[in-house]
A = this chain, B = another copy of it.
Amino acid sequence: MTEIEKTLQNKSVRPTAMRILIYKYMASKNTAVALTDIENAFDKAERTTLYRTLKTFEEKGLVHQIDDGTNISKFALCEPGCNCEIDQDLHLHFHCGNCDKTVCLTEHKIPHINLPQGYVAEDANLVIKGICDSCSQH
């Protein structure tokens, strides 16, 4: 059994051929991916399957969904020590307006915010938009 198969099984996700392919694809990229990205990467793939695979991955804590402000849902693999399931890993995300790539800044946590009386925070999303390191070098 490969490393990836073990990873999936550890999270109670049956390691089917398609799922392994998708996981491998996401692991190979250092940016968040959209459903369409995966669809284009494997032109044999069925949209619905990818959609439901990502849902499953998310529910089981293998990936987390990212709203980067483009109105297109992105997904990224959770890091080994990630606590996305319980909303405890509130790292921020960066979206590059030049190359349109979105990355996790896993080390950068969202600072605590004091809210007005009566407001109860349960989750937070912080996206910084600008120019990424690759694009700013050129």
Chain A positions near chain B (C-beta within 8 angstroms)? 67, 69, 71, 73, 92, 94, 97, 105, 108, 110-111, 113-134, 136-137
Chain B residue with Cβ nearest A71: B71
The answer to whether A119 and B94 touch across the interface, beta carbons within 8 angstroms, is yes
Copies in the complex: 2
Closest B residue to A96 by beta carbon equals B119
Which residues of chain B are near A132, meaning CB under 8 Å? 118-119
Beyond the given A116-B133, A125-B129, please list 16 additional residue pairs across the A-B interface where CB-CB is below 8 A. A67-B67, A71-B71, A94-B119, A108-B113, A108-B116, A115-B130, A118-B133, A118-B137, A119-B133, A119-B136, A120-B130, A120-B131, A121-B128, A123-B129, A123-B130, A124-B127
